[in-house]
Amino acid sequence: MYTVIKRLEISASHRLCLSYESKCTNLHGHNWIITIYCRAKELNEDGMVTDFSHIKRSITEALDHKNLNDVLPFNPTAENIARWVCDRVPHCFKVEVQESEGNIAIFEKE
Buried b (16+ CB within 10 A) or exposed e, 74-98: eebbbebbbbbbbeebebbbbbbbb
Residue 98 φ/ψ, nearest 5 degrees: -105, 115
pTM of the predicted structure, to 2 decimals: 0.95
pLDDT of residue 110: 87
What's the CATH superfamily of 2-108?
A: 6-pyruvoyl tetrahydropterin synthase/QueD (3.30.479.10)
Amino acid code (one letter) for 63: L
pLDDT of residue 30: 97
pLDDT of residue 99: 95
Amino acid code (one letter) for 54: H
Residue 109 to residue 80: CA distance in whole angstroms = 13
Q: What is the pLDDT of residues 55-80, one digit of tens each?
A: 999 999 999 999 999 999 999 999 99
Low-confidence ranges of the chain (pLDDT < 70): none
Domain range list for the chain:
2-108
Inter-residue contact 61 to 12 (CB < 8 Å): no
